[in-house]
Structure 1
Amino acid sequence: MSKLTMNIGFFPAFQFHHFLMLFLTAGVIIVCKSCDPILLAGCSSYSSMTNVYILGLSYTNSTPSNLSPVSRNLSETLNGYKGASQLEVRAGYFGLCIRQRGVVWLCSSDANGLTTQIGSENDPLDLIGAAAKFKDNVIFSGLLFMAVVLAFVSIILLATFPTWRSERDERTGSDVEVKPFPSRPVTHVAIACSLVASILLLVSSLWQHVGSVGAAAMADISYQGNVHTAIGAQAVSMAWASVILVVIPTIGLIVMILSIMALDRLTDDD
């Protein structure tokens, strides 16, 4: 196996592939954290991360004044149903969180259970049902899980890469730092896993972003200004940050294998 040698007595233990592992690990943690509040919702009535959501719906206190006559009639009709309702609903990948009159968040994956807890009279326009349909029919978490698994496999493969070690140079008798090149098949598999994980995260982030924006626009139109919509900025930023953190190691691995190939050619020429 080819080796790199350096005539130095000390070399930092933290090496290039360790940095790649750190980026991948950070990306995996961010993806898991973006789903964390809803995972906790299934076993707790309160989540400490309710600010991480994909789509938020809440009742407004006023009716817009810039509506056409037909839209105004519809808006006033919906406003009559709405009454003084003060409900906020936030949707994530695996469940919903609701809050009435700004008191305390209730989280669950069962929309019917949440409706029963607060009473259907407190949600006359069925925002909980609308958020549940968004969760079930628009967003999809399968790509995230696949990306996390592939990124984790890539981390494990990177952990097998050889590190620098001291060896005695037979010609000079001095100590040199030697680092064998990583296995070519292992490197190729690591690149493939991280590349596919990057693509899956990119598709998932686009899906999440476009889906939430489209659902928010449809809710604004359908409820004629009686419902306020919000896109979870933290969820969006975390999704795109995970894409960047996984793409960087992918590029690093590609540069690494190209550099090794170039060094191999130079060695063969010598």
Structure 2
Amino acid sequence: MPNGRLRIAIQRMVPFIGYHHVLMILIMCSWILSALLLAGCTSSSSTTSSIYLLSITYHDRSDSSGAASTIFGNASTGGSVTVRAGYLGICARAADQEPWICASGASGLGMAFAGSGTERDPLDALQWAQRFKSDVVFPGFVFGAIALSALAFFGLSTFPGWHEERDTRTGSDIVVKPFPSRPVSRACLFLLAFASLFLMTSALWQHVAAATAASIISTSTQGYLSGSVGPAAAVLVWLALAFTAVAGIGILVMILSIHLLDGLTDD
């Protein structure tokens, strides 16, 4: 019986879901993905620690020859720390079996990986990650995109929905939906366009920065430190961009459709 009532309630509600509600859902999906991206490496949970922009690990190159390789090989003896850098935090662990330890900066992690008699981070992987986080990447574009899409979300919430009105000629109830405000529609379009631009800038920036940093770290340490780009963070930022862009395109289609209908009625 409760399931039947719920089904009836949903069936009555579905016809009143407007086009702008779908666009608002897309914006909410973009918010969630952007929030997950920013939350990467801010806590030791398995979810957030797996969302990172750059990962730095020690690489065993005992078979390498040459004076420089010998120097780096001797210096990196005992190095076993794996470091991951996100927008707002850094995670590290000394071995694959150990849990991740996360903090807002490298200073909060250095003492945790001081081995007994042997330095676990002789090549300063933590400092490499700290410089990447503080000097290379910039989370402001993601925050800006969230703020702009939030304004567009509230603008869409003012759009009129389906409601019942009484027809003065027939006296019967009819379901109508007025056109939304054109200035608000255009404002939402521009807000989502700039939000998409911010997310695209952030996506390209983080990918190029992480790939470049990984190459520089590997070259500077003769390959004893290796870097890699975080796949989860890349997927999140591009999906957030896709949802925001689709919402913006949806508003553009709506504006053009209303303009076309107005032209047909005027004729």
What TM-score results when the alignment is normalised by the length of structure 2? 0.88
Matches within 5 A, 1:62-81: 62-63=61-62, 72-81=66-75
CA deviation after TM superposition for structure 1 residue 170, in Å = 2.7
Match of 2:80 among 62, 77, 86: 86
CA deviation after TM superposition for structure 1 residue 220, in Å = 1.6
CA contact 2:39–2:88 (8 Å) conserved in 1 = no
Letter in 2 for 1:54: L
- CA–CA distance in structure 2, aligned partners of residues 264 and 63 of structure 1: 75
What TM-score results when the alignment is normalised by the length of structure 1? 0.87
State the SS of the aligned residue for 1:242.
helix
CA deviation after TM superposition for structure 1 residue 11, in Å = 6.8
Q: Give identity over the alignment, percent.
A: 37
- C-alpha spacing 1:130/1:10, structure 2 compared with 1 (3 Å): closer
199-208 vs 160-169, which deviates more? 160-169
CA deviation after TM superposition for structure 1 residue 37, in Å = 3.4
Instruction: Count the aligned residue pairs.
Output: 251
State the SS of the aligned residue for 1:90.
strand
State the SS of the aligned residue for 1:56.
strand
Mapped pair 1:229 → 2:227: yes
Which 5+ residue runs of structure 2 have no aligned equivalent? Answer: 1-11
Letter in 2 for 1:109: S
- CA–CA distance in structure 2, aligned partners of residues 233 and 32 of structure 1: 16
CA deviation after TM superposition for structure 1 residue 117, in Å = 2.2
120-129 vs 156-165, which deviates more? 120-129
Higher normalized contact order (CA 8 Å, seq sep 6+, divided by chain length): 1
CA contact 1:205–1:236 (8 Å) conserved in 2 = yes
CA contact 1:216–1:229 (8 Å) conserved in 2 = yes
Match of 1:263 among 250, 261, 264: 261
Deviations 1:70-107 (A, max 9, x none): xx431221011111321100001112111012212111
CA contact 1:96–1:111 (8 Å) conserved in 2 = yes
Mapped pair 1:24 → 2:34: no
27-36 vs 221-230, which deviates more? 221-230
- CA–CA distance in structure 1, aligned partners of residues 177 and 126 of structure 2: 58
- Name the residue aligned to 1:125: 123
Which 5+ residue runs of structure 1 have no aligned equivalent? Answer: 1-8
CA contact 1:51–1:234 (8 Å) conserved in 2 = yes
- Name the residue aligned to 2:89: 95
